[in-house]
Amino acid sequence: MIPTDVPLIDPARSPIPAATIAARTPTQLAVGRLRRDRVAIASLVVIALMVILALVAPLIASWAGHPVHRQYRDTGLTEFGLPVGPRAEFWLGTDQLGRDLLVRLAYGARISLLVGAVSTVAAVGVGTTIGLAAGFFGGWTDRILSWLIDTTLSLPFLLFAISLVSLVGPGLGITVVVIVLFSWCPIARVVRGQVLTLRDREFVEAARSLGAGPMRIMVVDILPNLVAPLVVYGTLLVPQAVVFEATLSFLGLGVIPPTATWGAMLADGAQLYRVAWWMVVFPAAAVLALTLAFNLLGDAVRDAFDPRRVEAQPK
């Protein structure tokens, strides 16, 4: 029963001005929730600091007066040829060749963030395309693509990655390719699942009845609905990419020396940790801070887009 005696409110004469009850999109709501989340803000600050560190790396080098590849054999090494610890001239100490660790750490942030950003964008692109195709077309397309996803997920990917590196030779490009090759699968899987529930909804039917082709339906009608899961999984993919690059560099199969990367710095540190703890501790802290920040941010973004998850849990 619809109550008929309730006076209808004429928006023009409403006591609340229309401007204060402006409609907010789910994305705006999510951003609002994210801004009140202290953990998310702290993670964003850490990430922002890392980005700044990467951007100002040349400035740090010139301010410290230590170019990234310059070896300070007199001041940066002890008389026995060992690296020196943190001191006024070298804030974070030096490495086995007498290079400034702080400057190298800043340059390493460039590689890590670059690899993290580029491979995440590429993996999200590939994963979305394959997931969309599998979920939307169904049938044999879905069967073959799903099989491809499952198979790739079950491959011993680090072994596969190093075998690819052995063919092409190490480098920044192949590192990104390898990361993308093995990280699109979870995205594709999530997108496929979402598309399966979306493709039979009324708005898709409406678009089809208006004469929209499959391409248009996928891109214009379905894709905007996938933004939330893509942002969440994309954020969680960045730390994985950063760790993968660092792992390859650590094994000596990533970016070629003398380019400064955190993984390669840790590999050097692994040789000398008994005499130079700073060579392990600082790069390790950098990797950890970045991955932890992205993981926390990813969790916060997921909670912001899906508040039921948080509220459902007893406090």
Partner 1 sequence: MARFVLGRVLSGLLTLFVISLVMFILFYVAPNDPARTIAGPQATFAVVEQIQERLGLDQPLPERFGRFLGDVVRGDLGYSYYNQRPVLDTILGRLPVTASIAAGSAVLWLAVGIPVGITSARRPGSLRDRLGTVFVLVGLSFPTFVVGLLLLYVLFFRLTLIGVEIFPAGGYIPLTENPLEWARHLLLPCITIAFVTAATYARLTRAQMLEVFGEDYIRTARAKGLSERRVVYKHGLRSAITPLFTQFGLDLALLLGGLVVTEQIFGLPGIGRLAVESVIRGDQPIIIGTVLFASAFVVTANVLVDLGYALLDARVRIT
Binding site for partner 1 (CB under 8 A): 147, 151, 153-160, 162-167, 239, 243, 246-247, 250-253, 263, 266, 269-270, 273-274, 277, 280, 284, 287-288, 291-292, 295-296, 299, 313-315
Largest CA distance in the chain: 94
Toward partner 1, which CB reaches closer, 17 or 156?
Answer: 156
Toward partner 1, which CB reaches closer, 222 or 301?
Answer: 301
We find the least distance from the C-beta atom of residue 158 to partner 1, in angstroms, to be 3
Toward partner 1, which CB reaches closer, 145 or 217?
Answer: 145
Toward partner 1, which CB reaches closer, 62 or 166?
Answer: 166
Report the C-alpha gap between 138 and 147 in whole angstroms: 13
Taking alpha carbons only, the member of 287, 233, 49 closest to residue 125 is 233
Q: What is the DSSP letter of 132?
A: H
Place of tokens 């011993």: 156
Report the C-alpha gap between 154 and 33 in whole angstroms: 36
**Cα–Cα distances in angstroms (integers) from residue 50 to residues 153, 200, 295, 311, in the given order:** 31, 43, 15, 32
Q: What is the DSSP letter of 170?
A: S
What's 228-294 look like in SS3?
Answer: HHHHHHHHHHHHHHHHHHHHHHHCCCCCCCCCCCHHHHHHHHHHHCCCCCHHHHHHHHHHHHHHHHH
- Does the CA dihedral 97-103-104-105 come out positive or negative? positive
We find the least distance from the C-beta atom of residue 7 to partner 1, in angstroms, to be 43
Toward partner 1, which CB reaches closer, 226 or 262?
Answer: 262
Report the C-alpha gap between 304 and 315 in whole angstroms: 17
We find the least distance from the C-beta atom of residue 52 to partner 1, in angstroms, to be 21
163 Cα distance to chain centroid: 25
Toward partner 1, which CB reaches closer, 76 or 269?
Answer: 269
Toward partner 1, which CB reaches closer, 204 or 286?
Answer: 286
- Does the CA dihedral 165-285-119-265 come out positive or negative? negative
We find the least distance from the C-beta atom of residue 290 to partner 1, in angstroms, to be 9
We find the least distance from the C-beta atom of residue 274 to partner 1, in angstroms, to be 6
Taking alpha carbons only, the member of 19, 18, 22, 17 closest to residue 32 is 22
What is the dihedral angle through the alpha carbons of 298, 302, 305, 308, rounded to the nearest 10 degrees? Answer: -150
Toward partner 1, which CB reaches closer, 31 or 172?
Answer: 172
Toward partner 1, which CB reaches closer, 115 or 204?
Answer: 115
134, burial (CB in 10 Å: exposed 0-12, middle 13-18, buried 19+): buried
We find the least distance from the C-beta atom of residue 284 to partner 1, in angstroms, to be 5
We find the least distance from the C-beta atom of residue 309 to partner 1, in angstroms, to be 11
We find the least distance from the C-beta atom of residue 10 to partner 1, in angstroms, to be 46
We find the least distance from the C-beta atom of residue 241 to partner 1, in angstroms, to be 12
